[in-house]
Amino acid sequence: MNRRKKRFCLLILGLTGLAALFRLFRLDAALEYDEIWTLENYASASLKVIFTELALPNNHPLNSLAVKLTAFSGGAPQWIRLVPFLAGVLAVPLAGAAAFGLWKRRSAALWSMFFVAVLPQAVFYSQQARGYSLQLFFLLVFTAGLFAARRRPVAGCAGILLGAAGAMLTLPTSAFYLAAIGSAGLYRCRKDYRNRLPAAFSLAAAGAGSLIWVLVNLKSFEANRSWGSPIDSFGDLFSFLIDTAGQNLPYPVLFGALTALLLGFRRSRPLLWLWGCLTVSAVAFNAGPPRTYLPLAAATALTAGYGIDLLLRRFPGGRKYLAACFVPAALAALAAAYRQPYPDWYAIHRTIRELPPEITVVFPANDSNPLAWNNAPESYREQLRRIAPLPPGHAERKLLVVSRDGSMTGSTSSGAETKIPLSVPGIPVELDAMHGMLYGLEELDGPPATGTPFLAFIRPLPEPEAKKLLRILSAGQECLFLNFWLCTPVTENDILYRYYLAGGIAGEPEKTGWDAFLHEKPGATALYRIVPAGKSR
């Protein structure tokens, strides 16, 4: 091995190590909502359920299988992130292989590896037990296989087939990426097709297999499509493109990709093709959230590596100095993009425990799930403490709504997450681990006025009695279940007890059952009007 090749290999190892280092941070953080859902619903599920129940967006089959296998290790829950972590790290050398196949330059491959190694969304989803990191890994295996098939037919064809199968079994959106990447590869090799016949046959087999998988599971994929957002106008399309680029592409990546299009348009056209194909798919089949376009962000990062390589070649005399200036600037910009306000559910629980007992805390509906799960059973006890009667002479109750705008977000009776804006002015509160708006609570012994925002407690009762009171409360008015996941059933002496925290906007008194709610079970219920902080009495 000559000196230049040895240095190239060392740089590959260094960039892969950098990727692993970035992905180690937050790997031990509390599990998030979607990870908990996958762990609770699929770790104990059969393989048949994992590979056929595809209508819900939280079942990414290969990831669910990885969660199932790692959950049996008996270690900490965070072990379920091991496979996405490894996939995220291995995606970096694969990105280098794909970039080298595209541009036949080692420096372009190294710059592409650098951008993928530190791409914020690629880092984040390598720390989450979701399917996005696995999808990116398999799509890069597919792409690298396309370019390796000419000189190494066996390895290249294996990469094409393995990458396509793995990507499709992870996320159905992979069909669009595989079609776009495969068609771009065929177009590029159109003049050399005789030497690419093994790759062409492998592509045909991969395409046929993907099509069969889609047709077999078409109903599930159609149901999954309902979770997307329709694009009905040019304004929707513009917002979709800006939002997708803004959340996935930090400035250094955008700069590098635009440089590639400016200085090497002909060899950068595959990026425009990918963006065009995915835009058409979003219009035709509904747009997904920005995270579903992680492979598109990685493709942009690959092109950015080519762009930086072109830029440095334009200034050969100052190449080292430009690189020495660009790398720290890029790392700083990427670090700024990476520093998003991800909640720390352990720290939030500790913060709640330090609050006085008269402060009732309301979280967004889905946020109560990771808060409850990661801190159980103490989180349930803390919720009970917040709705328990206060001793005589204690400070008046207050309400802390964890939200920037103070809106209460809860669950309807059908389970849908809904937001109720509060017209009452609140006081912004910044705590160590969370922020919110503080309100006063005025206890009522009769019906609140129509249109008044209210908060209601149902303290532990046998389940039939608690549910009856909840039905009375919900009749004739807009009412949400608050902190839904923190209000878990409790069994004592073989009796199932339930407790609830609810809130909403009061309806017309004659159409509601306030008297029955307040007086049917004295002491088990409490009703409050939400008022400005300091105005309660």
Closest CA to 35 of 96, 82, 100, 103: 82
Are 278 and 176 contacting, i.e. CB atoms less than 8 angstroms apart?
A: yes
Total count of residues recorded for the chain: 537
Lowest mean pLDDT: which of 212-216, 267-271, 287-291, 524-528?
287-291
Q: How confident is the model at residue 36 (pLDDT cuts 50, 70, 90)?
A: very high
Lowest mean pLDDT: which of 50-59, 266-275, 354-363, 382-391?
50-59
pLDDT tens, position by position, 285-340: 888 888 889 999 999 999 999 999 998 888 776 667 767 777 776 777 666 655 55
- For residue 179, report the phi and psi dihedrals to the nearest 5 degrees: -65, -45
Are 309 and 108 contacting, i.e. CB atoms less than 8 angstroms apart?
A: yes
pLDDT at 192: 67
Strand 417-420, strand 408-411: pairing: antiparallel
Provide the β-strand partners of residue 444.
Answer: 527
Greater pLDDT, 537 or 221 = 221
Quick check: 379 pLDDT over 80?
yes
Quick check: 1 pLDDT over 90?
no
How far apart CA 406 and CA 385 sit, in angstroms, is: 23
Quick check: 488 pLDDT over 80?
yes
75-108 burial by CB neighbour count: b if 16+ within 10 A, else e?
eebbbbbbbbbbbbbbbbbbbbbbbbbbbebbbb
Greater pLDDT, 193 or 510 = 510
How far apart CA 488 and CA 61 sit, in angstroms, is: 29
Q: How confident is the model at residue 439 (pLDDT cuts 50, 70, 90)?
A: very high
How far apart CA 141 and CA 225 sit, in angstroms, is: 26
C-alpha dihedral, 175 to 179 to 180 to 185, nearest 10°: 140
Percentage, residues of the chain above pLDDT 70: 95
| Location of structure tokens 């990685």 | 298
pLDDT at 299: 95
DSSP state of 76: -
C-alpha 417: how far from its chain's center?
17
The mean pLDDT value for 149-161 works out to 88
pLDDT at 60: 92
Are 258 and 272 contacting, i.e. CB atoms less than 8 angstroms apart?
A: no
- The pair of three-digit structure tokens given for residue 507, joined into one six-digit string: 């309806």
Quick check: 358 pLDDT over 60?
yes
Quick check: 413 pLDDT over 80?
no
Model pTM score? 0.90
Omega before 93 within 30 of 0, i.e. cis: no
Q: How confident is the model at residue 167 (pLDDT cuts 50, 70, 90)?
A: very high
Strand 359-362, strand 398-401: pairing: parallel
- For residue 532, report the phi and psi dihedrals to the nearest 5 degrees: -60, 145
Quick check: 67 pLDDT over 80?
yes
- The pair of three-digit structure tokens given for residue 349, joined into one six-digit string: 């629980």
Start-to-end Cα distance in the chain: 82
pLDDT at 279: 87
Greater pLDDT, 336 or 532 = 532
